[in-house]
């Protein structure tokens, strides 16, 4: 028996109280695939009474069995999602937060279900989803610019740490600490971190960054974008971080030729971003953040593998993620060997 079934009555009563309903019947509950870091459940609920009466489809999002260092808590992620929703970013509407761990065994929140396909490898191959790919790239750029319109101070998300030095330096230091904590000897990653120290971009303006904005973390239907997901790594930082992460080769899957996330051109993505943000694209800064993207994904892959190897969460998916290291290290070496790089 899973924990949703085990705690069905308590969860139904809690949902009813939040929805202002007489009664809520959870008619179906299924785990959603694709969440390697958090646990997501699709809930179909028949709501009796109140303004939400009728069939409602929700997503319950909670911690997985083990967590990745630097991930926000579900309470924090809920508040970031609300800030994005208030800024008119295309996200699932955040509804209710439960911080009582006794209800289902962990903190969780409820958001509206958004339909669409999110699996990155499928998206890059299946041209029946996403609509016109140039228009999709433009839309993604525009939505990212809305995220970057959120600037500190913001009382509701004041728990996010503000960079004390150049965000580039903080990223390098954080990645080095995570690598050290894993007690892994990875010379290529150390090489990449040292290269990054010597080639950091100028100090930027600080905005909210999604910090995992990539193909696989948004949903598409036949017409285009339906929602941006997975906000657990959001923070204050350099907005070019998100552009570099989205364009990094490691997130293009089987379409390395399409530099905009494996689905569009870099130019289409930039065009949408610039139209809304008014911000000048710093090509060297984005190249820097693409290198950091490969180092960061390599560190996360190691962390995921350790979740499996430690016995905390046995998972073939987590174990296979750790096998990505050689390809990531090869790309880091390729990106840092050029002779024509000019430090900012």
Tens-place pLDDT, residues 46-58: 999 999 999 999 9
Lowest mean per-residue pLDDT among 22-31, 203-212, 334-343: 334-343
For residues 41 and 6, the answer to whether their CB atoms sit within 8 Å is no
For the chain, the average pLDDT equals: 92
Partner residues linked to 58 by β-bridges: 43, 112
Q: Answer yes or no: is pLDDT of 8 > 60.
A: yes
Residue 176's pLDDT is: 95
For residues 271 and 197, the answer to whether their CB atoms sit within 8 Å is no
Q: Answer yes or no: is pLDDT of 66 > 60.
A: no
Residue from 45, 49, 46 nearest 22 by CA? 49
The rounded distance, in Å, linking the Cα atoms of 331 and 93 is 37
Q: Answer yes or no: is pLDDT of 342 > 70.
A: no
Identify the band that residue 304 occupies on the pLDDT scale cut at 50, 70 and 90: confident
Identify the band that residue 315 occupies on the pLDDT scale cut at 50, 70 and 90: confident
Average pLDDT over residues 90-109: 96
Residue 220's pLDDT is: 98
Q: pLDDT, tens digit, for every residue of 195-227? A: 999 999 999 999 999 999 999 999 999 999 999
Residue 314's pLDDT is: 74
The rounded distance, in Å, linking the Cα atoms of 104 and 39 is 12
Residue 185's pLDDT is: 87
Residue 1's pLDDT is: 75
Residue 310's pLDDT is: 65
Identify the band that residue 338 occupies on the pLDDT scale cut at 50, 70 and 90: low
Residue 175's pLDDT is: 95
For residues 336 and 192, the answer to whether their CB atoms sit within 8 Å is yes
Lowest mean per-residue pLDDT among 31-40, 90-99, 131-140, 278-287: 31-40
List all residues 6 or more positions away from 338 whose beta carbon is below 8 Å from its beta carbon.
none
Maximum average pLDDT range among 32-36, 306-310, 320-324: 320-324
Q: β-strand 38-48 against 23-31: which pairing, if any?
A: antiparallel
Question: Exposed e or buried b for every residue in 86-112, given b needs 16+ CB within 10 A?
Answer: eeebbbbebbbbbeeeebbebbbbbbe
List all residues 6 or more positions away from 44 whose beta carbon is below 8 Å from its beta carbon.
26, 27, 28, 29, 55, 56, 57
Identify the band that residue 35 occupies on the pLDDT scale cut at 50, 70 and 90: low
Q: Answer yes or no: is pLDDT of 235 > 80.
A: yes
Using alpha carbons only, what angle is made at residue 261 by residues 223 and 32, rounded to the nearest 5 degrees? 65
Residue 337's pLDDT is: 81
Residue 3's pLDDT is: 87
Q: Answer yes or no: is pLDDT of 341 > 80.
A: no
Average pLDDT over residues 126-134: 97
Residue 133's pLDDT is: 98
């Amino acid at each position: 028996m899973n924990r949703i079934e085990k705690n069905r009555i308590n969860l139904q009563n809690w949902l009813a109280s939040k929805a202002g309903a007489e009664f809520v019947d959870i008619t179906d509950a299924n785990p959603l695939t694709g969440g390697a870091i958090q646990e997501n459940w699709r809930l179909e609920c028949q709501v009796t009474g109140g303004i939400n009466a009728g069939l409602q489809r929700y997503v319950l999002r909670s911690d997985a069995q083990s967590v990745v260092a630097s991930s926000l808590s579900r309470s924090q992620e809920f508040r970031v999602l609300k800030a994005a929703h208030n800024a008119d970013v295309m996200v699932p509407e955040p509804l209710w937060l439960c911080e009582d761990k006794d209800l289902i065994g962990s903190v969780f929140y409820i958001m509206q279900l958004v339909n669409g396909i999110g699996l990155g490898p499928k998206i890059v191959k299946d041209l029946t989803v996403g609509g016109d790919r140039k228009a999709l790239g433009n839309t993604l750029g525009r939505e990212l610019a809305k995220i970057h319109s959120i600037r500190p101070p913001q009382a509701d998300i004041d728990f996010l740490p503000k960079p004390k030095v150049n965000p580039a330096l903080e990223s390098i230091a954080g990645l080095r600490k995570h690598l050290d904590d894993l007690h892994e000897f990875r010379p290529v990653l150390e090489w990449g971190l040292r290269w990054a120290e010597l080639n950091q971009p100028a100090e930027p303006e600080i905005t909210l960054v999604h910090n995992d904005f990539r193909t696989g973390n948004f949903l598409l239907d036949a017409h285009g974008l339906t929602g941006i997901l997975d906000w657990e790594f959001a923070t204050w930082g350099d907005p070019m971080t998100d552009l570099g992460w989205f364009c990094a080769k490691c997130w293009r899957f089987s379409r390395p030729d399409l530099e905009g996330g494996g689905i569009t051109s870099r130019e289409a993505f930039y065009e949408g971003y610039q139209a809304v943000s008014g911000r000048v694209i710093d090509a060297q800064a984005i190249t820097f953040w693409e290198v950091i993207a490969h180092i960061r994904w390599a560190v996360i892959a190691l962390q995921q593998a350790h979740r499996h190897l430690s016995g905390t969460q046995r998972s073939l998916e987590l174990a296979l993620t750790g096998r990505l290291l050689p390809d990531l290290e090869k790309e880091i070496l390729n990106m840092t060997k050029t002779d024509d790089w000019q430090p900012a």
